[in-house]
Amino acid sequence: MISVIQRVSQARVVVGGEVVGQISAGLLVLLCAERGDADAQADKLLAKILKLRIFSDEAGKMNRSVQDVAGGLLVVSQFTLAADVSGGNRPSFTGATAPDEGRRLYDYFVAQARLAHPLVQTGQFAADMQVHLVNDGPVTIPLRIEPL
């Protein structure tokens, strides 16, 4: 699985003019399932995200996790993270899992996140979404858990 994590002071997802998910301070998680991914990759990625120490402590050091600061998670599906541009200028997305399995893994990730963290919001799978965010820092971290 591939993700891009952004520490935000606020973020929201709009679909068809309506806000479908929003958080104040926390993490925007852009998420893509790759071919060969399974629940184990989702579990490992979620554990890493929840423990990632990228929020400041009293001394200004990035030493706290989203759980430590009671921040929100806004999880947004984004198959374009699997883009391969090595063959030219038009991206290929063959590395992304098929849409049905992508939805299943996305839903699984969100369900597990909701079990482990009190504030989880989402985008809408396979929708045309507008993602609005204020990146705090900025702090943007790519994470990848390789398929087994």
* Residue 140 designated active-site: no
Between CA 110 and CA 77, with CA 117 as vertex, the angle to 5 degrees is 25
* Residue 125 designated active-site: no
Domain 2-143 has CATH 3.40.640.10: no
Residues 57-63 have a mean pLDDT of: 96
Q: Which of 6, 41, 78, 122 is catalytic?
A: 78
Q: Which percentage of the chain shows pLDDT scores above 70?
A: 99
Comparing C-alpha atoms, which of 118, 128, 121 is closest to residue 74? 121
Residues 10-29 have a mean pLDDT of: 98
pLDDT confidence bin for 147, thresholds 50/70/90:
confident
Residues 108-133 have a mean pLDDT of: 98
* Residue 80 designated active-site: yes
Residue 111 predicted with pLDDT over 80: yes
Note the pTM of the prediction, 2 decimals. 0.96
On the CB side of 100, how many CA atoms lie within 13 Å of its CA? 0
Answer whether 7's CB lies under 8 Å from 137's CB: yes
Q: Which residues of 94-103 are buried (b: 16+ CB within 10 A; e: fewer)?
A: eebbeeeebe
Residues 3-15 have a mean pLDDT of: 98
Residue 75 predicted with pLDDT over 80: yes
What type of residue is 57?
A: D
Q: Are strands 120-122 and 72-77 parallel, antiparallel or unpaired?
A: parallel
Token output for 23? 């958080």
Q: Which of 6, 41, 55, 79 is catalytic?
A: 79
